[in-house]
Structure formats: structure tokens, C-alpha cells
């Protein structure tokens, strides 16, 4: 990893020793995060063995990156608002979890999410590093589609793990790999052909698994990147409306969906095995009643619900609100909005940044139906997309 040198770095700049060590450690962290992500989905047994600890692992990796790139103590002394907000959110979520006697793993979900958004504005990557990281995803997608997937899902009724998870992993990895193709699109026209192949394959897999969330993720990306004009989407007022819709609109969707589910009307979706109202309305209603009892601290995760067999809020923004409370939710929104405002500027001037931003928005909207925006197993994906959105600006300004 590269970063604009601070005054403290200039003493060893002549030897390059300090910079080299930072680069090696940073590269090792990204390699470990990517290896963990790949093994989680390529080897179901690995997922079973590591699922309980992945949040802690990601947190440790992010703390190393924080020490390498953020100089958090100096930023706190300078009273930078986002550094103060990150520390406040970490402390608040930790205290809230202790108060409500939550499962301790809940701390790492929000902590990892917050740190990823914060670090994305502090880490500088160049085009070569973007190529290597996105190229790794392209290679992973190739191995998955050509070698692993045909064996794991040879028969629809016999498979390695949940088919919705398989579809979401495929689409999310595909979109990260799509960035690799975009790196070459301006120089090689054939890259556009490979982009079309990926999109068609993604649609086919999402439909085969009848995975609504994965289909929405891919569809939202196509809408933002190919259909909506870039100049219109990135107008300040329009873009603000989009990201407010992606966050607060997610809560409004939960409310309207739950209300509509009580009216007794239902429809079966074409091409999918589920009906429009297939149980989420009951889950969200139950969580709302639990949340009303502890709106400031949140309910944590040490709660047994009757509407579903496991603790799963099925909506990323709603998850933050319900599990961590109103104050933590408001603070997280402030951090997100601050970063998104800067991302819009990056995307205006760079096609690759624009593509990565459209992927990010797609994940936000997919997370109306699930928690993949927050899920720590996808932490490396989120970090990659955010770094690609801002790499050009960070390289210039050293944010």
C-alpha cells in the first residue's frame, strides 16, 4: 500500500526502509483478507470452522491498516470529525452491547463496517495495485465458475451450502471482477465482450438459484452504470437523494413492506419460487416491537425471535438501528454521508471510480432484503470497492 508521506516519514525516506515495511505489511493484510474470503466460499468446511471468529479476524486486519495509514492519535488531537466519530461509535457500540448483554460478536460487525468506510479515505492505492486486487477477484471468479461451482451445484437439490448465499457470492465476486475488465476497456475493445459475458452469466446464475437479492444487486448495478446517465446520477442533488434513499429509504421500505404484509394480499413473483410476502414482514415486525423496548441501546443479538429460526434482521440499515440503537445508527449515517459526498467527486472524474460507486450503490439496495452490506465475510469486497472509488482522489490529496 502507498500513502502520501507525512513529515515523520521523511527521515527514513532516503533508505525507503519504512515505506517498504509498510507496503509489505499492507499487502500481506490484503492477501490474508482475500484468502479468507476465497476459502470461505470455495471450501464450505472452512466456513464452518471460521464463521464464529471471522469478525475478530477482520477487525485485527483493519486495526493493522489503521496503524499503518491513519495515524489516528494525531487526527484525534487535530479534532478531525470523522476520526472522533469512529472512536465514538466503537466505544458506544461496545458499551451498548455490554448493557444489553449481547453476543460479543455483534461489536465486530459494526466496528468492521465503520472502520472500512473510514479507512477507505485514508489508504492510497495506485492503478497497478487496483489491477492486482481486481485481478485476484477475476481469477477467483474463474476458479469458482469453471471448477468449484459445477461440482458443488451439479444437482439443484444437492449442494454444498445455501443456494441464495452461492448466488450472492457469485454476483458480488462478479462485480468486483468486473472492475478488472473495466481497467482495460478503454485500451482493448474486446474487454467489452467479456463484460457482457459476465453480466449474462450473472443473470443466469441468479435466475437458476431463484435468488432475489443477488438478482437485485446485479439489476441495480446495471441500472446505475448502464441506464442512468452518469452526469445526471452524479449531480449533487440527485446523488444525495439516491444515497438517502439507499439508507433511510431502506427503513421506509421495511415499514411499508411490513404494513402491506398485514393486508392479506400476496403475489407469486415470476421466475422465483417465493411469494412477495414470504416471512420478512413478520421478522421485521417482531424486531420493531423488541426495538421499542430499548431504542437507545438497541437490543443486541442475544435475543431469540419466534418468526425465524436464527437471528437475522434481513436488512442492513434496520440491523444497525435495531441491534445498536438510535444514536449509533445516526452516527453511522453521518460517517456514511461524509464519505459518499467525497465519492461523488471521485466518480465524476474517473470511469473506474464511477463503476465502483455503482457497485457500492447496488450492494446498498440489495441490502434492503439482507445484511450483505454488513456481513463480515464480505468485508474484503466492500473495502476493495471503496478503495477503487476513491483511489484517484486519495492519490492526489493523500486524504
Domain definitions of the chain by residue range: 7-250+310-397
**What pLDDT was estimated at residue 218?**
97
pLDDT at 399 over 60: no
* Distance between CA atoms of residues 101 and 98, nearest Å: 5
Q: Is 268 helix (H, G, I), strand (E, B) or coil?
A: strand
Q: Which residue has the higher pLDDT, 174 or 126?
A: 174
Q: Which residues are CB-contacts of 347 (< 8 A; sequence separation ≥ 6)?
A: 230, 234, 353, 354, 356, 357, 389
Cβ-contact 88, 305 below 8 angstroms: no
Confidence of residue 99 (pLDDT cuts 50, 70, 90): very high
Summarised one tens digit per residue, pLDDT across range 46-75 is 888 888 899 999 999 999 999 999 888 999
pLDDT score for 397? 38
Q: Is the pLDDT of residue 76 over 60?
A: yes
d(C-alpha 357, C-alpha 344), whole Å: 8
Q: Which residue has the higher pLDDT, 121 or 378?
A: 378
Residue 11 pLDDT exceeds 50: no
Q: How confident is the model at residue 272 (pLDDT cuts 50, 70, 90)?
A: low
More confident residue, 134 or 397: 134
Q: How far is CA 314 from CA 291, 322, 337, in A?
A: 15, 11, 22
Does the reported pTM lie above 0.95?
A: no
Question: What is residue 2's predicted lDDT score, i.e. its pLDDT?
Answer: 41
- The Cα 54–Cα 37 span in angstroms is 10
Residues 6+ apart with CB under 8 A from 43: none
- The Cα 42–Cα 224 span in angstroms is 30
Give the separation between CA 115 and CA 398, rounded to whole angstroms. Answer: 18
166 CA to centre of own chain: 16
Is residue 16 scored above 50 in pLDDT?
A: no
Q: What is the mean pLDDT of residues 325-352?
A: 94
- Which helix (H) or strand (E) segment holds residue 212: the answer is helix 212-222
Q: What value does the mean pLDDT of the chain take?
A: 88
Amino acid at each position: 500500500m502507498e500513502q502520501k508521506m507525512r513529515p515523520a516519514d521523511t527521515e527514513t525516506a532516503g533508505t525507503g526502509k519504512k515505506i517498504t515495511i509498510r507496503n509489505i505489511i499492507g499487502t500481506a493484510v490484503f492477501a490474508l483478507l482475500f484468502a479468507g474470503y476465497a476459502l470461505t466460499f470455495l471450501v464450505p468446511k472452512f466456513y464452518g470452522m471460521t464463521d464464529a471468529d471471522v469478525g475478530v479476524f477482520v477487525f485485527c486486519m483493519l486495526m493493522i491498516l489503521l496503524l499503518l495509514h491513519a495515524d489516528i492519535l494525531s487526527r484525534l488531537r487535530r479534532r478531525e470529525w470523522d476520526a472522533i466519530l469512529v472512536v465514538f461509535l466503537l466505544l458506544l457500540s461496545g458499551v451498548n452491547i455490554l448493557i444489553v448483554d449481547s453476543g460479543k460478536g455483534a461489536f465486530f460487525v459494526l466496528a468492521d463496517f465503520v472502520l472500512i468506510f473510514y479507512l477507505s479515505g485514508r489508504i492510497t492505492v495506485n492503478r497497478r495495485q487496483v489491477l492486482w486486487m481486481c485481478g485476484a477477484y477475476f481469477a477467483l471468479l474463474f476458479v469458482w465458475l469453471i471448477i468449484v461451482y459445477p461440482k458443488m451445484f451439479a444437482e439443484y437439490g444437492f449442494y454444498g451450502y445455501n443456494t441464495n448465499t452461492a448466488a450472492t457470492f457469485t454476483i458480488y465476486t462478479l462485480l468486483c471482477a468486473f472492475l478488472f475488465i473495466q481497467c482495460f476497456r478503454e485500451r482493448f475493445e474486446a474487454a467489452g465482450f467479456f463484460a457482457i459475458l459476465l453480466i449474462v452469466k450473472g443473470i443466469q446464475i441468479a435466475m437458476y438459484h431463484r435468488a432475489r437479492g443477488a438478482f437485485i444487486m446485479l439489476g441495480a448495478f446495471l441500472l446505475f452504470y448502464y441506464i442512468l446517465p452518469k452526469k445526471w446520477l452524479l449531480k449533487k442533488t440527485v446523488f444525495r437523494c439516491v444515497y438517502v434513499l439507499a439508507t433511510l429509504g431502506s427503513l421506509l421500505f421495511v415499514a411499508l413492506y411490513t404494513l402491506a404484509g398485514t393486508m392479506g394480499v400476496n403475489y407469486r413473483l415470476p421466475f422465483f419460487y417465493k411469494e412477495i410476502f414470504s416471512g420478512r414482514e413478520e421478522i421485521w415486525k417482531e424486531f420493531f416491537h423488541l426495538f421499542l423496548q430499548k431504542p437507545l441501546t438497541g437490543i443486541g443479538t442475544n435475543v431469540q425471535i419466534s418468526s425465524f429460526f436464527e437471528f437475522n434482521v434481513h436488512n442492513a440499515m434496520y440491523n444497525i438501528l435495531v441491534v445498536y440503537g438510535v444514536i449509533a445508527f445516526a452516527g453511522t449515517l453521518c460517517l456514511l454521508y461524509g464519505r459518499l459526498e467525497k465519492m461523488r467527486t471521485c466518480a465524476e472524474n474517473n470511469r473506474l471510480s464511477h463503476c465502483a460507486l455503482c457497485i457500492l450503490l447496488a450492494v446498498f439496495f440489495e441490502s434492503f432484503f439482507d445484511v450483505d452490506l454488513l456481513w463480515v465475510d464480505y468485508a474484503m469486497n466492500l473495502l476493495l470497492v471503496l478503495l477503487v472509488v476513491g483511489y484517484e482522489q486519495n492519490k492526489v490529496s493523500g486524504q
